[in-house]
Amino acid sequence: MTKMNMTKVHNVFAILLLLALTPNALAGKRLDAELQPAQQALAAGDYKKAYVLYARHAAKNPLAQFTLGLFHREGWGRSADPVAACGWFDKAAHKDIPAAQQFFGDCLANGIGRAVDGKAAEAWYRKAAANGIAYALCSAGGLYVEGKVMDKDSRHGLELCVQAAQSDSPPAMLKLADYYRAGTDVPQDMAAARRWYKMAAERRVREAQYRLGVMLAEGQGGAPDLNAALFWLETAASEGYAPAYLPVATLYANAEVSPETGALKPEHLAKIYLWNNAAKASATDPVQLAEIDRIGSAVLSVMPESWRPDLDRKVAEHLARYAPIDPAGKR
């Protein structure tokens, strides 16, 4: 089992624990216990066996129904099937599985396998929020902010998202920051965007760490702070957030030189090489690739050749750890 696979499975288990928030916690424990063999198969990465085991209990076990929905939504061991996923979320939502209520709201808001129904979507989002899924309230808010399936009311929508964020929901913090940064559905407020990105970044949301780093580097929403920008961008990069790789390499390449030598510090050279090569492995944009080649040539002109084997090994280990997984669960 790879570390990336285990991370995904652990995230699934974290969602499954939301069953404890249902009105009947004792029943939840019983339903969870009978699914232990299925959960063990899922943890082992045996998607085929896990699916069969969950399906055995799907007639009566709403937790099994919800998990089968995840199989179809995420494409675990099969092609993703949003319509099938929404069918399972529908069943589990009616049996008071909070996360299923959130996802079924998404199905209704987007018209997946059924007609779009904004009012019903909001009702399910509010049920999920009442059962402990704080972000669902921001999902309800999004219906009003974006005005696609409900009458547009940006102020009311933002109030719902703020309520969710203030309930310590990192995804709601990220969503608020995105709204304020884009300025498409609400008046642009870069200072507010930066503030909400920081709150989400502090809660280990990688995209928020990246966005905050860019804003700090470019002085968006406040004064520039290159040290803080580098901290947040490298934090995101270290967790495998590929868009952060090149900005980190660039910031190190533009770091102050050593007063004693007039050159970049050795540790900075190593960091430039590491993150620039990580960026090279994932970049596809011609402009970015050209910049990566330029940085690579510059660092190789001054970095000792003897450093390369160890640094190449570290880059390979990092990329292997965070390599994407295909729908069959393989790299």
Nearest to 93 by CA among 81, 105, 108: 105
One domain for residues 123 and 250: no
| pLDDT tens, position by position, 50-89 | 999 999 999 999 999 999 999 999 999 999 999 999 999 9
| pLDDT tens, position by position, 192-207 | 999 999 999 999 999 9
One domain for residues 126 and 250: no
- The DSSP symbol for 112 reads S
| pLDDT tens, position by position, 228-255 | 999 999 999 999 999 999 999 999 999 9
CB 307 within 8 Å of CB 266: no
Q: Total structural domains in the chain?
A: 2
- The alpha helices in the chain, defined as continuous H runs, are 3-16, 25-33, 36-43, 47-56, 62-74, 82-93, 98-110, 118-130, 135-146, 154-166, 170-182, 190-201, 206-218, 226-238, 245-253, 266-282, 286-300, 308-321
Domain, as residue range, for 68: 1-132
Q: How confident is the model at residue 28 (pLDDT cuts 50, 70, 90)?
A: low
- The DSSP symbol for 114 reads S
Residue that the structure tokens 């870069």 belong to: 190
pLDDT of residue 263: 82
Nearest to 121 by CA among 149, 96, 147: 149
CATH code of the domain in which 122 resides: 1.25.40.10
Q: How confident is the model at residue 145 (pLDDT cuts 50, 70, 90)?
A: very high
| pLDDT tens, position by position, 92-110 | 999 999 999 999 999 999 9
| Residue that terminates a domain, selected from 111, 132, 153 | 132
In a domain, 233, yes or no: no
pLDDT of residue 32: 76
| Residue that terminates a domain, selected from 100, 132, 164 | 132
Q: How confident is the model at residue 4 (pLDDT cuts 50, 70, 90)?
A: very low
